[in-house]
């Protein structure tokens, strides 16, 4: 999993049926200190996250599909699975 910041969302009418009812968020990978750590990606929201939240994103299909749609086998490769309250770490 990676830490990321939710920076926006995507609206798409025509999409794979398994995405119906889900929210597609634009997330930007970040380091524990909040600095940018890579290129933006899209993730399906499984936890009612909002723009500005620091979140945990899983980048594996089975887990992403199960947490965001309730069952595996969907064409979903990333999902937001947690909203981070705090990160404590020793650099």
Q: What is the contact surface with other proteins in residues (CB under 8 A)?
A: 5, 7-16, 19, 24, 26, 28, 39-44, 51-52, 61, 64-65, 73-78
What is the smallest separation between the CB atom of 90 and other proteins, expressed in angstroms? 27
Structure tokens at 62: 């089975």
Closer by beta carbon to other proteins, 48 or else 88: 48
CB-hemisphere CA count at 13 Å for 70?
Answer: 5
Select 72 or 87, whichever has its Cβ closest to other proteins. 72
| Residue 46: CB minimum distance to other proteins, A | 14
As measured in angstroms, the least distance from the Cβ of 39 to other proteins is 5
Q: How many other CB atoms are there within 10 angstroms of residue 2's CB atom?
A: 17
Burial of 26 (0-12, 13-18, 19+ CB in 10 A): middle
Question: Do 31 and 52 form a contact (C-beta atoms < 8 A)?
Answer: no
21 vs 52 by CB, closer to other proteins? 52
């Amino acid at each position: 999993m990676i830490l990321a910041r939710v920076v926006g969302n995507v609206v798409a009418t025509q999409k794979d049926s398994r995405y119906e009812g889900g929210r597609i968020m634009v997330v930007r990978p970040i380091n524990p200190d909040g600095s940018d750590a890579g290129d933006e990606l899209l993730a399906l929201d499984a936890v009612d996250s909002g723009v500005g939240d620091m979140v945990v994103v899983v980048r594996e299909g089975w887990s992403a599909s199960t947490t965001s749609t309730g069952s595996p086998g969907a064409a979903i490769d990333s999902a937001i699975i947690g909203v981070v309250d705090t990160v404590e770490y020793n650099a």
